[in-house]
A and B are shown apart, each in its own frame.
Chain A
Amino acid sequence: MSSQTVLIPNPTAAAQHRWRKWFTLENRFVPPIFITLILLVGHVTFGILESYKKTLLAIAAAILTELVLGRLITHKWVNVASAYISGISVGILLRSPALWPYALCAVIAITSKYVVRVKNRHIWNPSNFAICVMLFLAAEQVTTLSIQWGNNLYAMLVIWALGSAIIWRLRRFHICATYVLSFVAFAILRAYIVGDPIASEISPITGPEYQLFIFFMITDPKTTVRSKTGQCIVAFSVAAVEMVLRLNSSIYAPLYALFLVGPIALLLETGWTNRKPKPHGIAAFGVTQ
């Protein structure tokens, strides 16, 4: 999920036509609106939010943490769009009968952006980091979204179509496409290796967890590398590591794969290429550092 810390409007945005602002790269509200839409459709259709309280708690905790830490560190009131996405994604992806994991996970997600930084960049997708931490450390209390949304083909197609269109406009579709194609190829390979039905290996990507993972996590502009080729290589690498984890029966393989690959890719980019950070088009959501 998007995870910008310091948000500055792209200077070219003001010159653009009003209606285009809502559908161009500069619009920072597209991802929050999209994820909210998914949430509402999922809830109205299938009641995916077992409790409004849990999701609202995660969102509130994320936004509050962002405001407090942003003020403390940057002395500004930061834009909370990315915190909103982190909170809502924690609210959707995390599953627990208790309330406290939602608040703790959201606070860890936002705090990680300010603490775990290399060369002034945070290196983990915040919600991916926090959810993995909760899965590592509180396995008896939390799991992740797995089987909600009715396993319905049409609901899945609508989300895929809408998500693809938006991601296309945000010029990050190549990341999703690379990951999906890699996943399918590796699924076929896994089926050959372990002898399970191919359908069983393809099955995970037809579920809702992957829709969120693909559209919001692996495309996060702040925690992906900058070149298009590099992004495709990272997406492929995530799928490859996920395959290794799946061969070892890791239930949360995609989350763990991104947890492992994401920072390594960023560190390679920032450390080895010695490229100086600068504001440019990687801020797919119209914001930059």
Chain B
Amino acid sequence: MKRPALIRLILSIVFLGLLATPLILKRIAARRAQATSTHLDQSAALARYGFAFTEISHAAGIDFTHHAPALDPRLNPIMPEVASMGASVSVVDFDRDGWPDLYVTDSAIGSHNHLYRNQHDGTFVDVAPELGLADVNQPNTGVSMGSVWGDFDNDGYEDLYLIKWGRPELFHNDHGHGFTRVSEQAGLPPWINANTAVWFDYDGDGKLDLFVGGYYAENIDLWHLKDTRIMPDSFEYAKNGGRKYLFHNLGNGRFEEVSAKLGIDSRRWSLASAAADLRGTGHPDLFVANDYGVAELYLNDGRRFHESGTQTGVGFAPKSGMNVAVGDIFNQGKYAVYVSNISEDGVLIQGNNLWVPKDASSTKPNQPIAYENMARDLGVELGGWSFGAQFGDLNNDGTLDLTLTNGYVSADPHRSYWYDFAKVAGGNASIIGDADHWPAIDGRSHSGYQQKRVWINDGAGKFVDVAQAVGLTDTHDGRALALVDLFNTGALDVVVANQRGPLLIYKNTVNPANKWLELSLEGTRSNRSAIGAQVTLRWNGQQQIQQVAGGSGFAAENDRRIHFGLGPDPHIESITIRWPSGTIQTLSPADLAQLDTILSIKEPA
């Protein structure tokens, strides 16, 4: 064979090899995934992964199905798209009995929200009607989108801020015996179309403040539209959403709106937010995930906020932010931030973001911080049309795992809306901004029937999805997800609120060989909810930080108590609590009578 012919033959073989490369990579990935995607019985899952879930909502007395809002009839052709949120769950011990309760929102006009009181026997009973928290979706007041709990008047009982597309509501907790609506007295505005809010004490004055992020603009009554130009003006750079609010707690039951004055001025379409001291300054920063655009990171210097998304790296690539959760995933005393986005094979691969502080930027407090997205490297990038996600040690092995729910619109499983969605979404603002220009969804699915993710952290830099193996197997359209030790057993259970679907409770059974510790904190000089308190637990030569949060994930709030898994045979070295007031409290091993217990700790006066 002549040399040119030989070269061409070799080149042709190489070319075929190049074409085969994606198929080979796909096959390798599928083989790896298959090993963890098979459903196991509980004993096998316990043996292999150290935990297993059982869905118990019906047995626990909870048979709740969410109803989506029905907005202005002019939106009917795309109603499942525009009315795609509202299912939420928040965890609260509203009656201070030491057992976590659940507050669940419904979103149809006239529907009722539910406050499920924990009966201590594995069951729950809805007490919302008699306590005044049920009938909150009345005509002309909008509907519920979520809730966050915080003791804004420091009386020891958690109060409720109800996130709505409509009239925002603040309910004062009357010592666990009822709730009083105090929205007007508090100075809340008449209407906000919001999907996220978070309680935090941004100025460290001992009183909880409140951030609320708007989604649709606040001058839109979604049930009585002036016109149909309500959609985002871009699917990646939209700035025509709702405004942000920062309500400063004045201490007399009133709040002052101070967002613009303190540097928060944005009209991006916010879907999730979380507050955490990301730089070790003692001041909580605010991370906001926005739909149709970049995330915003408001760094708190103690006096005002500075939007630093671009400088820190988290606000450069526009995606569809729908979740914010923070966790010390490497046990290094640094928070990573997880933001969920959209991934659909062959259509849109945004990938979720796991923002990990770069080493050089995070070693010193008060220094500039920079993040890199390590979602791909760690294996938590692809989660479908992702919504709520939370960090928590599900198997008590001493590292934080990550649980995620997903799925947008599950309707006719054989017909997809993706083509029509993509057709319009790439167009000009004058086209996509008008709901009238969108093709009717007509009963089709849009990233529906998706499998959830339970990524367990191997402690060595990899997360592996074991959702199917450990029994988290539903395919509803998940929205909010909360982690909570519902039965005070030291196991983090998973509660999932599904859009137009049931509230699911996945009871967790954990290998008892792994030890655990939970801390229930109460502030004195700090806000009584202890929101913002940070605990550093050192054991077996490692450390993990966790904080008390006033809202996390998507439309969710986790168990207020901090849960540490410790693995087998832990040797506790110290527990350090940095209270929001600045007080540092250190507990030694001698202060711990035993492990596998819930410690109640009050801030030193």
CA distance A203 to B429 in the complex (A): 10
CA distance A199 to B427 in the complex (A): 9
Which of B12, B25, B316, B437 lies in contact with A199, CB distance below 8 A? B437
Contact with B along A4-22 (1 / 0, CB 8 A): 0000000000000000000
CA distance A97 to B545 in the complex (A): 30
CA distance A73 to B440 in the complex (A): 54
B376–A204 touching, CB < 8 Å: no
Query: Is there a chain A Cβ closer than 8 Å to B18's Cβ?
Result: yes
B346–A140 touching, CB < 8 Å: yes
A138–B439 touching, CB < 8 Å: no
Within 8 A of B (CB), among A232-248: 246
Measured between beta carbons, the chain B residues less than 8 angstroms from A26 are none
**Would A151 and B237 be within 8 Å (CB), given that A143-B349, A203-B437, A204-B423 are in contact?**
yes
Contact with A along B335-376 (1 / 0, CB 8 A): 000000000011111110000000000000000000000011
CA distance A134 to B23 in the complex (A): 10
CA distance A151 to B318 in the complex (A): 13
A146–B11 touching, CB < 8 Å: no
Which of A134, A199, A249 lies in contact with B22, CB distance below 8 A? A134
Query: Is there a chain B Cβ closer than 8 Å to A186's Cβ?
Result: no
Which of A101, A137, A151, A204 lies in contact with B429, CB distance below 8 A? A151
CA distance A146 to B434 in the complex (A): 19
CA distance A108 to B16 in the complex (A): 10
A153–B438 touching, CB < 8 Å: no
Within 8 A of B (CB), among A24-51: 46-47, 50-51
Name A156's closest neighbour in chain B (CB-CB).
Answer: B428
Contact with A along B144-173 (1 / 0, CB 8 A): 000000000000000000000000000000
Segment from A77-85, A111-119, A171-179, A222-230 that makes contact with B: A111-119
Measured between beta carbons, the chain B residues less than 8 angstroms from A193 are none
Which of B236, B316, B424, B431 lies in contact with A148, CB distance below 8 A? B236
B418–A251 touching, CB < 8 Å: yes
Query: Is there a chain B Cβ closer than 8 Å to A57's Cβ?
Result: no
Which of A97, A114, A116, A201 lies in contact with B381, CB distance below 8 A? A97
**Would A140 and B345 be within 8 Å (CB), given that A72-B7, A153-B429, A203-B428 are in contact?**
yes
Query: Is there a chain A Cβ closer than 8 Å to B485's Cβ?
Result: no
**Would A140 and B26 be within 8 Å (CB), given that A147-B236, A199-B437 are in contact?**
yes
Query: Is there a chain A Cβ closer than 8 Å to B257's Cβ?
Result: no
Query: Is there a chain B Cβ closer than 8 Å to A133's Cβ?
Result: yes
Measured between beta carbons, the chain A residues less than 8 angstroms from B434 are 199
Contact with A along B412-456 (1 / 0, CB 8 A): 000010111011111111111010111110000000000000000
Query: Is there a chain A Cβ closer than 8 Å to B262's Cβ?
Result: no
Contact with B along A188-232 (1 / 0, CB 8 A): 000000101101111110111100000000000000000000000
CA distance A148 to B233 in the complex (A): 12
A47–B427 touching, CB < 8 Å: no
A151–B427 touching, CB < 8 Å: yes
Query: Is there a chain B Cβ closer than 8 Å to A161's Cβ?
Result: no
Closest CB-CB distance, B424 to chain A, in whole Å?
Answer: 5
CA distance A156 to B243 in the complex (A): 28
CA distance A77 to B423 in the complex (A): 42
Closest CB-CB distance, A260 to chain B, in whole Å?
Answer: 18
Measured between beta carbons, the chain B residues less than 8 angstroms from A101 are 22
Which of A47, A112, A151, A209 lies in contact with B316, CB distance below 8 A? A47
Measured between beta carbons, the chain B residues less than 8 angstroms from A184 are none
Measured between beta carbons, the chain B residues less than 8 angstroms from A46 are 236-237
B22–A141 touching, CB < 8 Å: yes
Query: Is there a chain A Cβ closer than 8 Å to B51's Cβ?
Result: no
Report the count of interface residues on B (CB-CB < 8 A): 54
Closest CB-CB distance, A145 to chain B, in whole Å?
Answer: 8
Closest CB-CB distance, B525 to chain A, in whole Å?
Answer: 44
Query: Is there a chain A Cβ closer than 8 Å to B593's Cβ?
Result: no
Measured between beta carbons, the chain A residues less than 8 angstroms from B351 are 97
Query: Is there a chain A Cβ closer than 8 Å to B44's Cβ?
Result: no
Which of A133, A140, A148, A206 lies in contact with B19, CB distance below 8 A? A133
Name A45's closest neighbour in chain B (CB-CB).
Answer: B237
**Would A108 and B237 be within 8 Å (CB), given that A141-B349, A153-B430, A204-B426 are in contact?**
no
Query: Is there a chain A Cβ closer than 8 Å to B138's Cβ?
Result: no
Name B20's closest neighbour in chain A (CB-CB).
Answer: A137
Query: Is there a chain B Cβ closer than 8 Å to A150's Cβ?
Result: yes
Query: Is there a chain A Cβ closer than 8 Å to B317's Cβ?
Result: yes
Which of B419, B423, B429, B436 lies in contact with A152, CB distance below 8 A? B429
CA distance A207 to B234 in the complex (A): 11
Contact with A along B10-52 (1 / 0, CB 8 A): 0110110011011101100000000000000000000000000
Measured between beta carbons, the chain A residues less than 8 angstroms from B432 are 151, 203
Query: Is there a chain B Cβ closer than 8 Å to A181's Cβ?
Result: no
B349–A95 touching, CB < 8 Å: yes
Closest CB-CB distance, B48 to chain A, in whole Å?
Answer: 26
Measured between beta carbons, the chain A residues less than 8 angstroms from B287 are none
**Would A115 and B11 be within 8 Å (CB), given that A200-B431, A200-B439 are in contact?**
yes
Query: Is there a chain A Cβ closer than 8 Å to B235's Cβ?
Result: yes
Closest CB-CB distance, B187 to chain A, in whole Å?
Answer: 36
Measured between beta carbons, the chain A residues less than 8 angstroms from B236 are 46, 147-148, 150-151
Q: Which of B22, B416, B430, B434 has the most CB of A within 10 A?
A: B22
Measured between beta carbons, the chain A residues less than 8 angstroms from B349 are 95-97, 140-143
CA distance A95 to B318 in the complex (A): 13
B419–A251 touching, CB < 8 Å: yes
Measured between beta carbons, the chain A residues less than 8 angstroms from B347 are 143, 251
A207–B428 touching, CB < 8 Å: yes
Which of A104, A150, A151, A202 lies in contact with B21, CB distance below 8 A? A104
Name A252's closest neighbour in chain B (CB-CB).
Answer: B346
A137–B23 touching, CB < 8 Å: yes
B348–A143 touching, CB < 8 Å: yes
A135–B346 touching, CB < 8 Å: yes
A151–B235 touching, CB < 8 Å: yes
B422–A146 touching, CB < 8 Å: yes
CA distance A31 to B365 in the complex (A): 49
Measured between beta carbons, the chain A residues less than 8 angstroms from B430 are 153
B427–A203 touching, CB < 8 Å: yes
Measured between beta carbons, the chain A residues less than 8 angstroms from B427 are 151, 199, 202-204, 206-207
CA distance A196 to B441 in the complex (A): 10
Nearest 3 pairs of A and B residues by beta carbon: A203-B427, A139-B346, A207-B426
Q: Can you list 18 contacts pairing A with B, beta carbon distance less than 8 Å?
A: A46-B236, A72-B11, A100-B25, A104-B21, A112-B15, A138-B26, A141-B25, A143-B346, A143-B347, A151-B236, A156-B428, A199-B434, A200-B437, A203-B426, A204-B427, A206-B428, A251-B346, A251-B419
Residues of A within 8 A of B (CB): 46-47, 50-51, 69, 72-73, 95-98, 100-101, 104, 107-108, 111-112, 114-116, 133-135, 137-143, 146-148, 150-153, 156, 194, 196-197, 199-204, 206-209, 246, 249-251
